Structure 1
């Protein structure tokens, strides 16, 4: 995207590590997702309601991109070419999704071996790697744990899958980090709307008074991807760990 004006300033402010830079496709995509969940949600809703390529291209241009020079015919032509390439692509094969460092599970294994990810009990390692029976942690949660392990010297996982009606843990979408001493350095990097959206975080719960007794206990907390003030009971239940849950 060729952002200009205020949107360019927002884009540049958004693309700070660990989010990829403004020159990358990944950074552009992350910012687009962030906008479409926030200020540009009406544009996304209009785009999602389209039923064919021509209308989707036109709506995306007029509602979201809002270019100074529409050149709609040219955009329609490129949209058709992109769709043709997509349709002609062969089906994914095992291993196609591997990153340069291997699959997410491979990278998690490497972080575990390096001592960057530790566990309160051995069963948690099996859960993180998807080796357990029953409910599995989601790929999105695995990706978040991998990201967290690269943002701090070590994370110590105290809970992943556990029973409980309405709990993200029961759905394999939540992780508790027990070494709360990392919170002071880690949470300021994460607890912004831009980062929460980019990392796919639904909930972040931590009693910020554990860092400084004068802090608002909800200083870093989010629910449904938005800043949120949890009640004292919920805060009390999360007094000795950092809780993360990812979106579905």
Structure 2
């Protein structure tokens, strides 16, 4: 596969991060919203979930997914290309199938954000305004770190060679979908913490991306998964205790 395909992939990742940076709300406005309330943002014409509509929120989540999840799959993409040794590998189809799964996740995440906002549990920025919601999301994410499903999905992400050999005949698009589903099984709970760390919060997105990349590394990742679960459960307990 020619280098142009990798340039296009890295361009996609950098473009997604660039778009998120352009869309991110400055810290000063976040602080103003905390002091003056939601009307402060609406008065400045900041788009809120109800005004933006479902489609705009979905695009936001799709950009987040591309920016955060594509880097975690780069070793798998490289492994797939190495197995093909020719243009027949069709890396673009593999990436398309992978990102297609995350677009589906973006639809669900956007629907959840709209519903939680209308229920008064999220701010117009998509941040949790409920201690119980934050504690619950942290507890679910922490407990999921110890689940058999998480371990099964991580084992496939950490061994992409065996994964692709087992499903090689399915072709690049279907393998991309399979890889996306496995990756979703690894990371959906951590992605849901955007409602705690702040949707469109660049610091949270950067930290979460680094954690998810490291967790999928075969040598380092196995030492990270369970300690991360302990940290998340402890954070859940702390949030619960401080909001009662």
Bucket of the pairwise TM-score, normalised by the shorter protein:
under 0.3
Greater fraction helix: 2
TM-score (norm 1): 0.22
Select the structure of larger CA radius of gyration: 1
Q: Which has the higher contact order (CA 8 A, sep 6+)?
A: 2
Greater fraction strand: 1
TM-score (norm 2): 0.23
